[in-house]
Structure 1
Amino acid sequence: MSEQQVASYPVDDTNRVKRRHQRAHYDHATVHALLDSAALCHVSYVIDGQPYCTPTLYWREGTTLYWHGSSASRMLRNLSEGQPACLTVAHLDALVLARSAFHHSADYRSVMAFGHARLIEDQAEKARALVMMVDRLFPGRTAGLRPTTDQELKATAVVTMEIEKASAKIRAAGVIDDEEDYALPVYAERIPVRSVLGAAEPCGRLMPGLARPATLSGFSAGRLLDEALTESYAMSYPAG
């Protein structure tokens, strides 16, 4: 596929990376890969002139994002007509210590996605979305759970947003100093940062004889979280 044919999000003043523009990526593959390797996002919006930023779990289907919350949420009550919103995700990969304060930095991967968020009102669509809220993380798990009650369905709101514009920004350069500063007797280094899964802690009230399902094998102690989440996403949405 040629560069001109690569699927990308449109770029304008809203999503154009202005500082360190060489770190910017607008193609679907990069943006989606960063979204699929995380589970927690922050959603920003403005209501009556007041800015809000809410952390929540989210997932992606194609170019559509979903997230959930309590039906009593101030934000969710204002989304029935569609509210401009920005969903952000960030991976911290390293702390960077340079020879000057100015060049201290971090290696990171981040995404900003823009669109108009709206509440899902259709109950069938909402029920399906809530299944995927679980199965996106743990493929096939919902089928073995106690069915969701009508009250639980009513108490949980689901928001969807078509990604209208998006940008990814990636720094993976490590230590970068001014050329003349490399001769200074100042220690510099890159400190890698990773989110690593710990050993599973089974509920203390499990029924006797219940073993950990094989479907959770991807969530094993010592594995990187972003790898486990990417694998789960690929199992739930094999078409990408």
Structure 2
Amino acid sequence: MTDKQKTSGDFPVSSLNKVRVTKRATYDVDTVHAILDEGILAHVAFADEGNPIVLPMVYGRIGDQLYIHGAKATRMFKKLKVGIPACVNVTIVDGLVVGRAAFHHSMNFRSVNIHGTARLVEDEQEKYDALVAITDHLAPGRWDETREMTKKEANATSVIALTIETAAAKCRAGMPIDDEEDYGLDHWAGIVPITTAYGQPIDDARLKDGVPVAKSIAKLTSRK
């Protein structure tokens, strides 16, 4: 646990993480963690020689540490490992919000923006734990169902940690908010729910005969 780690309460609000629409904002640590734990894809933003870069990444979380991984040779990991500021966004879309006027169309969503300083994970145990967390974030229990990672694979992989120094969650839920005079119009309005659903697993064409679907995958695809 780092000295800055927050396990409860609110993240401090500053010009960096303040959400303009106050009613949609929360800085609650538990809410931020819950959205991170439910999301599956993060967009990682950083600057490279003055140019903005945003890349989608899988991730894992352990306490106040967010972890991403990739090949050592990639530009992103060469840049992040020196310890530069980074921003991470995770968004879960819950529905389209359709108003009577195009102006009042929106989305129901839950999102988190995180700011912190990236660092290269050099401790072997932390690196191992991070790779387990990233794998199990996608399918809980999957790491233990796979063969052991080889030394060559470990050496070819970089893990970057981002301490959640400050964060904000922004959420919207509910029906469209139309102009009062528009509620009597003959234009349909409402919500179109959006859900993330897992399809039935498809065997690899070269799967050994008699190998059943892994428990972690079967559990994942049985979610409602």
Q: Is the 8 A contact 2:45 2:52 kept in 1?
A: yes
Amino acid aligned to 1:13 = S
Residues in 2 aligned to 1:166 and 1:201: alpha-carbon distance in whole angstroms:
38
The aligned residue for residue 50 of structure 2 is 49
Residue 209, structure 1, aligned to residue 210, structure 2:
yes
Residue 148, structure 1, aligned to residue 149, structure 2:
yes
Give, in angstroms, the shift of residue 179 of structure 1.
0.7
Residues in 2 aligned to 1:132 and 1:71: alpha-carbon distance in whole angstroms:
19
The 10-residue stretch of structure 1 (98-107 or 209-218) with the greater mean CA deviation from structure 2: 209-218
The aligned residue for residue 173 of structure 1 is 174
Q: Is the 8 A contact 2:94 2:193 kept in 1?
A: yes
Q: Is the 8 A contact 2:46 2:54 kept in 1?
A: yes
- Please show how residues 72-91 of structure 1 align to structure 2 within 5 Å: 72-91=73-92
Residues in 2 aligned to 1:179 and 1:205: alpha-carbon distance in whole angstroms:
61
The aligned residue for residue 28 of structure 2 is 27
User: 1:171-210 deviations in whole A, cap 9, x for unaligned?
Assistant: 0022210111111222222111111111111222222222
The aligned residue for residue 58 of structure 1 is 59
The aligned residue for residue 193 of structure 2 is 192
Say how many residue pairs are matched.
Answer: 218
The aligned residue for residue 219 of structure 1 is 220
Amino acid aligned to 1:70 = A
Q: Is the 8 A contact 2:80 2:120 kept in 1?
A: yes
Amino acid aligned to 2:186 = P
User: 1:11-34 deviations in whole A, cap 9, x for unaligned?
Assistant: 11100101x211101101111110
Give the SS at the match of 1:131: helix
Give, in angstroms, the shift of residue 6 of structure 1.
5.4
Residues in 2 aligned to 1:151 and 1:6: alpha-carbon distance in whole angstroms:
39
The aligned residue for residue 230 of structure 1 is none
Residues in 1 aligned to 2:94 and 2:204: alpha-carbon distance in whole angstroms:
31
Residues in 1 aligned to 2:145 and 2:197: alpha-carbon distance in whole angstroms:
27
Q: Is the 8 A contact 2:37 2:137 kept in 1?
A: no
The aligned residue for residue 227 of structure 1 is none
The aligned residue for residue 93 of structure 1 is 94
Q: 1:107 to 1:204 in 2, by over 3 A?
A: same
Give the SS at the match of 2:66: strand
Residue 138, structure 1, aligned to residue 139, structure 2:
yes
Residues in 1 aligned to 2:93 and 2:27: alpha-carbon distance in whole angstroms:
20
Q: 1:201 to 1:126 in 2, by over 3 A?
A: same
TM-score in terms of structure 1 length:
0.84
Task: Provide the alpha-carbon RMSD of the alignment.
Answer: 1.8
Q: 1:107 to 1:146 in 2, by over 3 A?
A: same
Q: 5+ unaligned residues in a row in structure 2: which ranges?
A: 1-6
The aligned residue for residue 236 of structure 1 is none
Q: Is the 8 A contact 2:201 2:217 kept in 1?
A: no
The aligned residue for residue 233 of structure 1 is none
The aligned residue for residue 12 of structure 2 is 10
Give the SS at the match of 1:126: helix
Q: 1:114 to 1:138 in 2, by over 3 A?
A: same
Q: 1:205 to 1:32 in 2, by over 3 A?
A: same
Residues in 2 aligned to 1:75 and 1:127: alpha-carbon distance in whole angstroms:
20
Residues in 2 aligned to 1:81 and 1:30: alpha-carbon distance in whole angstroms:
30
Residues in 1 aligned to 2:151 and 2:140: alpha-carbon distance in whole angstroms:
23
Amino acid aligned to 2:159 = V
Give the SS at the match of 2:103: helix
